Amino acid sequence: MFIDLLIDAIKEKDNPTVVGLDPKLDFIPQFIKEKAFKEHGVNLKGAAQAIIEFNKGLIDALCDIVPAVKPQLAYYEMYGIEGLMAFEQTVKYAKEKGMIVIADGKRNDIGTTAESYSAGFLGKTLISEDVLQPVFDADALTVNPYLGVDGIKPFIDDCKRYQKGIFVLVKTSNKSSGQLQDILTDKGKSIYEIVAELVEEWGKSLRGKYGYSSVGAVVGATYPNQAKILRKAMKHAYILVPGYGAQGGTARDVAHSFDGEGLGAIVNASRSIMCAYMSDNWKDQYSVDNYADASRAEAIRMRDDINAAIKT
Amino acid sequence: MFIDLLIDAIKEKDNPTVVGLDPKLDFIPQFIKEKAFKEHGVNLKGAAQAIIEFNKGLIDALCDIVPAVKPQLAYYEMYGIEGLMAFEQTVKYAKEKGMIVIADGKRNDIGTTAESYSAGFLGKTLISEDVLQPVFDADALTVNPYLGVDGIKPFIDDCKRYQKGIFVLVKTSNKSSGQLQDILTDKGKSIYEIVAELVEEWGKSLRGKYGYSSVGAVVGATYPNQAKILRKAMKHAYILVPGYGAQGGTARDVAHSFDGEGLGAIVNASRSIMCAYMSDNWKDQYSVDNYADASRAEAIRMRDDINAAIKT
């Protein structure tokens, strides 16, 4: 079961964090880009090759201490087919290195179409009667709940069939997330609380040995008060927490998403890890050639920061 | 401006419809699949080649009578990189044949990430200081509003820069759409009405010569009563109407999304057009070899059906 594999990995590495692989070209060291552009041209292919090189360096430096990576599909789709090949290779490489891969695609559609998204990212695609083929084959996918259960059930079915997971957007980390998510209903609840109830319901049949479900939730670190409410409202949902670091969430903020045992949440950081080599914290200790070591140092700092906050 | 180009095309062809290109393998004639599998193998590449062949046949048969196509990204992503190459070729081919392309991806994310989605589907991707490259380059994209304005604004910026459009999910056609969208707020409005107000607001700066905005809305044909309310609530939003045909919406149902001049909406049909050759209506008149002619006949029937309903 996905959620058990995730929690086992978090426990084994004593690290409740996931590194977002959102490889904007600005984040990638100049020497990597120069090499890729020289070999493949200053075009989508060159960009995609730089991304693969950068991601592999990060994965190599992080795979023994960080349980999971979260590639954000937008940052691959923006480089077209070549970018998606980089996504595919990143997923494969991270899995080979023993990491869990959460594809951040926020996919959503009506039932029959959601089945296709699910086949592409979590399940398998039927080519003919006797050929059923995995495609991008991530371990989990983020999904958007705006269409209700029809659009979620196909993913849940694949979670059961193939030991996969989903994280449903509940309360997102961005400034305007309240525009819809915080609206109060005539029953006195907010929309994010109603989505939280749905997440609990949707995950009932996918609970594992730790009591958590393979149907998780996304709750931003930037909203600690809502996180407190949501931790209680979704007792069985593992919470994927974006917004730590560059977006402003602190270890104290993210602590609200954890339970008393130090489980219940996995905190994402993207930019602060990927760009550690140019940060004030690390740029004096690590040259750009050692960007991956700087990322490792920042990943360790983040792990210890969060572990300290959740153990008090 | 996208919306003016769309309305001009609808007027020129006297046809307020869009054909959904959702090429499930089940929809594709056996002879096309056999040829593709023989040439490329019973694998993702074979499937993708069958899709391209099928789509091109449909586009050739429809391009002089139908103003737009709407490829659904899920049905390409499920075939991986090869499937996305089929998507890219489909977009390109349809545009070459003078059709407007609405990419149905229902994309959504926080601001900086939405920028990347927008670059990939509508705008251009910055590779280096002096290389800015279009990627999938569709004319419009469907987007999900759950994250509020932060996640929408980057698309709007590209709509301005590159004459593109978006269609925001307001009330979707599926059975469980009401689970979130119909919830009543403490102010007595439903969530879909609140999203409708946002769509009006978001589209203010993108209104064209007909008074409609390049920020449109998705409202399912399966909810005619809500469509009546929404047509009035979003006076400047062009409505993309899924759910006609196979999903159960009738021409009378979709008529509610049009204004008194016969403008204001574009109705999508996917399966009923793509699978016309196997339908009770057309299978006696067209053999499978002439699948594209059957699709053309059904597209004409649909056009006339809807035009008759909106002109009464």
Which of B146, B155, B172 to mutate to test binding with chain A, by most A CBs within 10 Å of its CB?
B146
Digit-coded pLDDT (tens) for B261-299? 999 999 999 999 999 999 999 999 999 999 999 999 999
| pLDDT at residue A246 in the model | 79
Residue tagged 């978001």 (tokens):
B202
Q: Which residues pair with B67 in a beta bridge?
A: none
CA atoms in the 13 A half-sphere facing the CB of B55:
34
Map residue A110 onto helix, strand or coil: coil
Average pLDDT value for chain B: 97
Tell whether the model's pLDDT for residue B45 goes beyond 90: yes
Q: Are strands A131-134 and A124-128 parallel, antiparallel or unpaired?
A: antiparallel
Average of pLDDT values for B179-198? 96
Tell whether the model's pLDDT for residue B312 goes beyond 80: no
How far is Cα of residue B73 from the mean position of the Cα atoms in its chain?
Answer: 10
Note the CATH number of domain B2-310.
3.20.20.70
C-alpha–C-alpha distance, residues A162 and A156, integer Å: 10
| pLDDT at residue B248 in the model | 86
| pLDDT at residue A186 in the model | 87
Is A87's Cβ below 8 Å from some Cβ in B?
no
- CA-based torsion, A248, A250, A254, A256: positive or negative: negative
| pLDDT at residue B311 in the model | 85
Among the options B106, B124, B153, B189, which is catalytic?
B106
Digit-coded pLDDT (tens) for B96-133? 999 999 999 999 999 999 999 999 999 999 999 899 99
Q: Which residues pair with B124 in a beta bridge?
A: B134
Is B268's Cβ below 8 Å from some Cβ in A?
no
Give burial (CB, 10 Å; 0-12/13-18/19+) of A129: exposed
- Parts of chain A with a pLDDT under 70: none
Residues on chain B touching A127 (C-beta within 8 angstroms): 25, 42-44, 46-47
Return the residue of B nearest to A198 by Cα: B179
CA separation, residue B93 to residues A41, B138, B203 (Å): 26, 11, 29
Residues on chain B touching A43 (C-beta within 8 angstroms): 127, 131, 133
How far is A204 from chain B, CA to nearest CA, in Å?
Answer: 18
Cβ contact, residue pair B146, A110, below 8 Å: no
Cβ contact, residue pair A120, B173, below 8 Å: no
How far is B277 from chain A, CA to nearest CA, in Å?
Answer: 21
Digit-coded pLDDT (tens) for B52-81? 999 999 999 999 999 999 999 999 999 999
How far is A172 from chain B, CA to nearest CA, in Å?
Answer: 7
- Both structure tokens of B278: 């196997």
**pLDDT level of residue B245 (50, 70, 90 thresholds):** confident
Q: Could you tell me where the DSSP H helices lie in chain B?
A: 2-12, 30-40, 44-62, 74-77, 80-96, 111-121, 153-162, 178-181, 191-202, 224-233, 251-255, 271-274, 291-310
CA separation, residue A178 to residues A172, A173, B154, B261 (Å): 8, 10, 18, 37
| pLDDT at residue B126 in the model | 96
Which of B24, B26, B89, B147 to mutate to test binding with chain A, by most A CBs within 10 Å of its CB?
B147
Helix (H) or strand (E) holding A171: strand A165-171
Digit-coded pLDDT (tens) for B141-169? 999 999 999 999 999 999 999 999 999 99
How far is Cα of residue A71 from the mean position of the Cα atoms in its chain?
Answer: 7
| pLDDT at residue B186 in the model | 87
| pLDDT at residue B21 in the model | 98
Instruction: For chain B, give percent helix, strand, coil, nearest 5.
Output: 50, 20, 30
Does ipTM top 0.95?
yes
Length of chain B: 312
Is B132's Cβ below 8 Å from some Cβ in A?
no
| pLDDT at residue B238 in the model | 98
C-alpha–C-alpha distance, residues B140 and B277, integer Å: 29
Return the residue of A nearest to B119 by Cα: A78
Residues on chain B touching A177 (C-beta within 8 angstroms): 147-148, 150
Residue type (1 letter), B18: V
**pLDDT level of residue B246 (50, 70, 90 thresholds):** confident
Domain extents in chain B: 2-310
Residues on chain A touching B107 (C-beta within 8 angstroms): 74, 106
Residues on chain A touching B75 (C-beta within 8 angstroms): 113, 116
Residues of A with a known catalytic role: 106
Contacts with A27 (C-beta within 8 Å, 6 or more apart), sequence order: A54, A271, A274, A275
